[in-house]
Amino acid sequence: MIAYIVRRLLHGVGIVLGVLGLLFILFFTVTSPEGMATKALGEKAPPEAIAQWVTNHGYDRPLFWNPESWSDTLLVDHYYSMLSFDFGRSDADDRPIMDRIKQGAKPSLYLTVPLFFIGLFLSLSGAMLVAFFRGTFIDKAGLVVSVLAMSIPTMVYIIAGQYILGKVLLWFPISGFDRDPTMVWKFLMLPVIVGMIESLGGGVRFYRTVFLEESNRDYVRTARAKGCGELQLMTHHVLGNAMIPLLTQVVVAIPHLFLGALLTESFFGIPGLGAAMVEAIHGNDFSTLRALVFIGCLLFIVAQIVTDIAYTVVDPRVRLK
Amino acid sequence: MLIQAHVISNYVVAALVVGVLLLGIGILRSRLWRRSLGTLVKRRPIALGIVFLYILIALLDSVSWVGGTHMGSRGSEGADLVSLQEPQSVIDRFFPRDFQEEGYAHPFSSTHFYTDKALRYPGRHILGTDINGRDVFHLSLSGARIALLVGGLTSLIVIPIALFFGICAGYFGGRVDDAVFYILSTLASIPNILLLIVLVQAMGKGTLQVCIALGITSWVGFCRLARGESLKLRELDFVRSARALGASETRIIFRHILPNLMHLVLITFVLLFSGLVLSEATLSFLGIGIDESWGQMVDLARLELARDPVVYWNFFGAFAALFGMILPVNMLGDTLRDILDPRTLSEDS
Amino acid sequence: MISWRTFLGLAGACAALLACSNDPYPARDAQQKILYSSFSSAPRTLDPAVAYSVVDHMVTGNVYDTLLEYHFLKRPYQLIPGLAMEVPEAEILEDGRARYRFSLREEILFQEDPCFTHFHPGTKTRRVTAHDMVFSLQRIADPKVNSPISSTLIRILGFAEFGKRLQQMRDESEAFAALPVHGQYEEAGGIEGVRASGDLDLEIVLDSAYPQLLYWFAMPFTTPLPWEAVVYYDGNEGRNAFEEHPVGTGPFILSTYDKYARIVFDRNPNWYGALHPEWQAPGATYPSEGEAGDGEAGLLDPEYVGRPLPLIDRIEFRMEKEDIPSFAKFLQGYYDASGVIQESFNMVVQEDNLSDEMVELGVDLVKSVSPDIYYLGFNMDDPVVGHKAGERGRKLRQAMSLMVDTEGYTERFANKRGIPAQSLLPPGLFGFDESYRNPYRQVDLAHAKRLMEEAGYPGGIDPNTGRAIRLTFDTPDPSAQGRARYQFFVDSWRKLGVDVEIAATNYNQFQEKVGNGAYQLFMWGWVADYPDPENFLFLLHGPNGRTASGGPNTANFNHARYSELFLQMKDMPNSPERALLIDEMLKILEVERPWIELFHRENYALYHHWLANVKPVGLSFSTLKYRDLDAPLRARWREDHNHPIRWPLFLVVLLFAAMMVRGVQTYLEERQ
């Protein structure tokens, strides 16, 4: 058991190093620091200021190999700063990236946590409803609606939500955010509702398959043959046993919880990490982008390891590979 | 003399069509496949028809040549001199050469939307015109080619690579498996959309770049699947007996493993396809999509929807075309999965 | 039971929906004199020596005062004294050097801030002296600060030397580098041409007369800075960084700075205007005169004339990244003023006036022309379109210039908001001639075709290849919107047989192309830093070439006579001789066509009737201290116009219930 956990952890470390390598190639070998400097300082900046910026940010150092000092290269620096969580300063505004992450995490969680749980709850209830009425018109209608819903781009949901619920019906503020906890729920209503409707289609379809598969298993049939009520069957047997695919789904969602929803945050003006990422993309702020991507990956890897270990604890037959 | 790009693309299209036909004939020779496809045709005739229509449009739009005539052209002054020397596709030729107005026009309208100036082709723009006066119906049709390119080209990149690595890892196991598994886990650890964005940022904008980026992000899932399946197949009796009879590894892979993965390939292809086209739409919002794709049209049109009075036809054209393709493809994918493989894939989608 | 739980949840959600309103602000603020406005991207820095973008100035302009200011109402722009007692005049010294003397007002205080308590226990603020100005200018010269205007002020005596000396001393001695910055500046000997000759007197000596210098003293770059703030706010030990925590003398104090969501200012009780209304200082009093038409526009209301500023108590800026939701909030009364977004233009403006719908809402409109120029440029280093192509290239540029229909462009993409540019000088600047019509900026297809033939490209065919001449249009804007815009130009050149390809890359790649000179055609804009023609004409001065020197001349235009005229014109005071020189320069550009001038932006600003004293400014300076608003009126209006429509909610609930009932029915039937 211990050996397995150690091996799993080592594997995780290997993957983190690999991800970092990939990020280094993507972020350092293909970008020009002068371009970043011009974006950061503005079109009117004179060339001396640009050169100074590049020096101040250390982008004039060698990439892989420095004959004077092996550790003074961007590669070593990249690994060191990422692994020590010392992300340095943003290329766009020179502020510590860690501050931005700390500032942005809370709004992102405000948005994604309720969105995730309400969405999960509704998807599960919807799927259960559809599975419960399987074969009837509710099932068919539910399936058609979910495929329909899945075929619509996110942007369309957001625009329609803002227009109908915000502009025409005047239910909620169309956009905005407030860090004051007594005000924040007001701003979250609209994005949460929109995000929920968006995720419902895929969710219902996925969990329906899970439930149907589960309810065809022998133990369910036995229970049914013993005269167990259909409702009780659903809530007690099927739901309980569908937990493993459900848990996997939750794990996959964790980095997204933290990083927020890229489009939703941008459109609703929520100052979270998703919006920070879109800003970094548009503003050519590679150092922030790199840090955010790395954190997303790291969370994902950690979550995976935790679930893998949890699985083995629960069921020793399940092993890596 | 330098061979021009459109000539090459014509040959490529021809080769592709011939290839697909040959593949189709090959598949139809197997009774199992014939029966499955028969079921598919019976269960989803409309969806299948629509998808074929899209493919046809995309193919017609990919065949082009310089010179020749357009339907319904009328010579007028101030015409576009450059287009005379540009290759025009079959779809282009269904429309007049100068089928362009001076700004927005409502569907079937005979005047411009914001001014009362008469249109050059009154009543002929069945989906109206966009901000630069181009016919939306024409643009929507041309989008099919891009969508097929995004879905098709990327799948062409993804499937062979994923199959190769998946089978190698699954069949040979050991070090090979470790290496492939490592690459897979590394790539899978970067959330998809992030990797996509970073890749396009790094490689730059362009059709091929976007396809490669989409390819890199989407081969992981299928590779895992192929690996798992070949791992299972390796232990099955018929593979074991083939090995016992002294068949070479290549032969086993090509004769026994690969054919038994073909249904997965087909299902993956269909399901991947719609996902890729939708991903391109998200990239378009971030300004890194492919020019003239439906995603870009939707992105442009989202602001027009907020216009007052509303300019809806651009959005409608692009959205209807996109939706009209994704919906039948998704339905076909679902049905195919039911028919070919009711169990393996259900947990993975 | 699931269904019960579901129903309970639904009921709860409904209750929450019923209780919700769309008011984004706390109810307690409704009756306050708070101005609500929006911003679309976070400020980069609030360090006044560095801040250069419009959003940066939106913040620094309220917090930092300048020695000189622009008159709120008068156009052409006129300088008035701010913290200085009067606008100085240049004194020419014997050796050709020029001296400017500023005398500061007495008894100006910095805003209250803990940094003063830290260095001078028991005090919360400090008096402003000329030494704070000296310190501020030294910071601009400091290479570590990396100010974008350090190369502009290089004509101040000893300015560059001071920067170099500072750098050198820092490199040589660690002890020196460890000193607080104001100590370092002192030790390095200061800037020769910047001296405080008394407690309140500042002397600036330049190598020659430089009339535009005064404009730089009307921008937040040159605000007096307390060294205490720069030293104290170093970002260490939980202290903020100076670029996030401004300490100034301005009419407002930055009280909340959550730069990705919300920026709030409150009145500064220590502002000189608030402490000494009896001074009637020009920068702290509502003006009594303006340009023609201001009286009719209600900008010289006797209620306001001569009143001490500021008139509002608080300013709230909220982040709005997308302008559609932001505009919708304006229409709901939650923002006091707004631009007109393109999408809603036809709803808001009809035949150049406000639509009836807007008039009914009580919205007002002001228009103004911004001192800027948008243009298409040719890279003059390019062998096909540039200098090397000689007469052929010139004819090609002329022909292409004749095809670009600016009015068509602005009509399509800017609702006709834009004055077609005849030359690079915008209206309101010295040298602008209203009657001038550039012969190459009128659309003329026949003439253009003739020029193409003369250039050796009949029908656009390049005799070398037998195909249409092919050019590339480079842009850093890969969005669909950008593409649609550039397509307009491409379409018009196609009529000439010129095949232009749009190469949209990301920003980095574009900069790289520009840096390497590997570009042909581009679109760019320039907004004036100050209202002087020199600020536009220098954009085509040969030695400012972008590829060669990284300068602002992105077209790499290099014309001996033009450059000669520019050097003559640049430091001259406005006079008939200067006008003649400018005229000749414009004539050169008319024929040479390194640019195809497009338009000068026309701004349409909307504001609700409860807001008073709105006059748009093209230059980047803040006028919020002049604004006033009627909060009770606003609160009433908001209430009247924001009644939520609730019936669809009940409809949805009803539909859901009906479906459930039907489903249960079917289910029961099937079981039997």
Q: Looking at the complex, report in whole angstroms how far the Cα of residue B80 sits from the nearest Cα belonging to chain C.
A: 4
pLDDT digits (tens, 9 = 90+) for A272-310: 988 888 888 777 788 898 898 888 888 888 888 887 777
- The verdict on a CB contact (< 8 Å) between B189 and A300 is yes
* Residue whose pair of structure tokens reads 């008469």 in the numeric block: B118
- Contact call for residues C377 and C555 (beta carbons, < 8 A): yes
Q: What are phi and psi of C201, to 5 degrees?
A: -110, 130
- Name the CATH architecture for the domain at C41-284: 3-Layer(aba) Sandwich (3.40)
B296 at the C interface (CB within 8 A)?
Answer: yes
| Beta-carbon-side half-sphere exposure of residue B60 (alpha carbons within 13 Å) | 14
User: Residue C545 pairs with which residues in a beta bridge?
Assistant: C553
Q: Looking at the complex, report in whole angstroms how far the Cα of residue C194 sits from the nearest Cα belonging to chain A.
A: 22
Residue C577 confidence (pLDDT): 94
Residue C459 confidence (pLDDT): 86
- The verdict on a CB contact (< 8 Å) between B85 and C412 is no
Question: Percent of chain B beyond pLDDT 70?
Answer: 95
Q: How do the domains of chain B map onto residue ranges? A: 5-62+138-348
pLDDT digits (tens, 9 = 90+) for A1-16: 788 888 888 988 999 9
CATH of segment(s) B5-62+138-348? 1.10.3720.10
Residue B266 confidence (pLDDT): 83
Neighbouring residues of C632: CB distance < 8 A, sequence distance ≥ 6: C31
Class of domain C372-603: alpha beta
More confident residue, B307 or A265: A265
Q: Looking at the complex, report in whole angstroms how far the Cα of residue C245 sits from the nearest Cα belonging to chain A.
A: 12
Dihedral sign, Cα of residue B174, residue B176, residue B179, residue B181: negative
- Contact call for residues B64 and B6 (beta carbons, < 8 A): yes
More confident residue, C123 or A129: C123
Question: Which residue in B194, B286, B331 is closest to A147 by CB distance?
Answer: B331
Q: Is the pLDDT of residue A318 over 70?
A: no
Q: What does the alpha-carbon distance between residue A113 and residue A119 come to, in Å, rounded to a whole number?
A: 10
- Amino acid identity for residue C228 in this structure: E
- The verdict on a CB contact (< 8 Å) between B194 and A277 is yes
* N-term to C-term CA, chain A: 15
B178 at the A interface (CB within 8 A)?
Answer: no
pLDDT, averaged across chain B: 84
Residue C4 confidence (pLDDT): 59
Give the tokens for residue C601: 């932006």
A166 at the C interface (CB within 8 A)?
Answer: yes
- Contact call for residues C546 and C552 (beta carbons, < 8 A): yes
Per CB-CB distance under 8 Å, the chain C contacts of A211 are none
B198 at the C interface (CB within 8 A)?
Answer: no
Q: What does the alpha-carbon distance between residue C248 and residue C229 come to, in Å, rounded to a whole number?
A: 9
Give the tokens for residue C443: 């659309």
Neighbouring residues of B262: CB distance < 8 A, sequence distance ≥ 6: none
Q: SS3 string of B286-324?
A: CCCCCCCCHHHHHHHHHHHCCCCCCCCHHHHHHHHHHHH
pLDDT digits (tens, 9 = 90+) for B207-260: 888 888 888 888 888 888 888 888 888 888 888 888 888 888 888 888 888 888
C-alpha closest to that of A111 among A259, A311, A282, A210? A259
Return the DSSP state at C154.
Answer: G
Per CB-CB distance under 8 Å, the chain C contacts of A31 are 508
> What is the per-residue DSSP string for C281-293?
-GGGB--S--STT
C-alpha closest to that of A5 among A319, A300, A252, A317? A319
Distances (CA, A) of B278 to A161, A300, C142: 20, 24, 51
Q: How do the domains of chain C map onto residue ranges? A: 4-20+644-671, 41-284, 372-603
Q: What are phi and psi of B116, to 5 degrees?
A: -90, 5
Per CB-CB distance under 8 Å, the chain B contacts of A296 are 190-191, 194
Residues 276-295 of B with CB under 8 A from C: 284, 287-289, 291
Residues 317-336 of B with CB under 8 A from C: none
Q: Please state the pTM of the whole predicted model.
A: 0.85
| Res. B300 pLDDT band, cuts 50 70 90 | confident
Residue C305 confidence (pLDDT): 93
C-alpha closest to that of B222 among B271, B189, B278? B271
Q: Is the pLDDT of residue A71 over 90?
A: no
C-alpha closest to that of A97 among A265, A273, A268, A261? A273
Q: What does the alpha-carbon distance between residue C202 and residue C67 come to, in Å, rounded to a whole number?
A: 11
Buried b / exposed e across A276-305, counting CB within 10 Å, b at 16+?
A: bbbbbbbbbbbbbbbbbbbbbbbbbbebbb
**In 3-state terms, what secondary structure has residue C304?**
coil
B304 at the C interface (CB within 8 A)?
Answer: yes
Q: What does the alpha-carbon distance between residue C130 and residue C195 come to, in Å, rounded to a whole number?
A: 8
C-alpha closest to that of C417 among C355, C320, C341? C341
- The verdict on a CB contact (< 8 Å) between B182 and A14 is yes
Q: What are phi and psi of B253, to 5 degrees?
A: -60, -50
pLDDT less than 50: residues of chain C: 1-2
pLDDT digits (tens, 9 = 90+) for B178-198: 888 888 888 888 877 778 877
Q: Is the pLDDT of residue B349 over 50?
A: no
Count other C-beta atoms under 10 Å from residue C654's C-beta. 10
Q: Looking at the complex, report in whole angstroms how far the Cα of residue C400 sits from the nearest Cα belonging to chain B.
A: 14
Our CA angle for A303, A306, A310, nearest 5°, is 140
Secondary structure element (H or E) that encloses residue C363, with its range: strand C363-369
Give CB contacts under 8 A, 24+ apart, made by C534-540.
C534/C212, C534/C569, C534/C570, C535/C212, C536/C373, C536/C424, C536/C425, C536/C426, C536/C429, C537/C424, C537/C425, C537/C566, C537/C569, C537/C570, C537/C582, C537/C585, C538/C566, C538/C570, C539/C424, C540/C424, C540/C589, C540/C594, C540/C595
Return the DSSP state at A1.
Answer: -
- Contact call for residues A171 and C644 (beta carbons, < 8 A): yes
Note the residue count of chain B: 349
Neighbouring residues of B293: CB distance < 8 A, sequence distance ≥ 6: B143, B146, B147, B150, B280, B281, B284
B82 at the C interface (CB within 8 A)?
Answer: yes
Count other C-beta atoms under 10 Å from residue A108's C-beta. 24
- Contact call for residues B280 and B150 (beta carbons, < 8 A): yes
| Res. B5 pLDDT band, cuts 50 70 90 | confident
Question: Which residue in C244, C329, C506 is closest to A174 by CB distance?
Answer: C329
User: Residue B111 pairs with which residues in a beta bridge?
Assistant: B118
Dihedral sign, Cα of residue C309, residue C311, residue C317, residue C322: negative
Question: Which residue in B78, B296, B306 is closest to C324 by CB distance?
Answer: B306
Residues 188-247 of A with CB under 8 A from C: 189, 231, 234-235
Per-residue pLDDT, averaged over B20-44, amounts to 85
Residue B347 confidence (pLDDT): 40
* Residue whose pair of structure tokens reads 């590669």 in the numeric block: A75
Q: What does the alpha-carbon distance between residue B70 and residue B90 come to, in Å, rounded to a whole number?
A: 9
User: Residue C252 pairs with which residues in a beta bridge?
Assistant: C267
- The verdict on a CB contact (< 8 Å) between C346 and B114 is yes
Buried b / exposed e across C274-287, counting CB within 10 Å, b at 16+?
A: eebeebebebbbbb
Q: Looking at the complex, report in whole angstroms how far the Cα of residue A240 sits from the nearest Cα belonging to chain C.
A: 14
Q: What does the alpha-carbon distance between residue C475 and residue C594 come to, in Å, rounded to a whole number?
A: 17
Residue C81 confidence (pLDDT): 95
Question: Which residue in C344, C468, C499 is closest to B308 by CB distance?
Answer: C344
Per-residue pLDDT, averaged over A105-114, amounts to 89
A121 at the C interface (CB within 8 A)?
Answer: yes
**In 3-state terms, what secondary structure has residue B167?**
helix
Per CB-CB distance under 8 Å, the chain B contacts of C491 are 80, 100, 132
Count other C-beta atoms under 10 Å from residue C454's C-beta. 15
| Res. B1 pLDDT band, cuts 50 70 90 | very low
Which residue out of A10, A13, A15, A28 would a mutagenesis test of the B interface target, given it has the greatest number of B Cβ atoms within 10 Å?
Answer: A15
- The verdict on a CB contact (< 8 Å) between A171 and C332 is no
Question: Which residue in B81, B284, B287 is closest to C495 by CB distance?
Answer: B81
| Res. B76 pLDDT band, cuts 50 70 90 | low
Per CB-CB distance under 8 Å, the chain B contacts of A303 are none
Return the DSSP state at C235.
Answer: S
Give the tokens for residue A55: 């020096």
Buried b / exposed e across A9-39, counting CB within 10 Å, b at 16+?
A: eebbeebbebbbebbbebbbeebebbbbbbb
Q: Looking at the complex, report in whole angstroms how far the Cα of residue A20 sits from the nearest Cα belonging to chain B.
A: 9
Count other C-beta atoms under 10 Å from residue B45's C-beta. 10
Q: What are phi and psi of C317, to 5 degrees?
A: -105, 135
Distances (CA, A) of C587 to A214, C424, C440, C590: 83, 11, 11, 5
Which residue out of C20, C553, C661 would a mutagenesis test of the A interface target, given it has the greatest number of A Cβ atoms within 10 Å?
Answer: C20
**Structural domains in chain A, sorted by start:** 2-83 (no CATH), 102-314 (1.10.3720.10)
**In 3-state terms, what secondary structure has residue C257?**
strand
Lowest-pLDDT choice from A107-116, A204-213, C644-653: A204-213
| Beta-carbon-side half-sphere exposure of residue C106 (alpha carbons within 13 Å) | 1
C-alpha closest to that of C445 among C463, C466, C457, C459? C459
Lowest-pLDDT choice from A56-60, A191-195, B47-51, C121-125: A56-60
Question: Which residue in A31, A129, A171 is closest to C22 by CB distance?
Answer: A171
- Contact call for residues C456 and C392 (beta carbons, < 8 A): yes
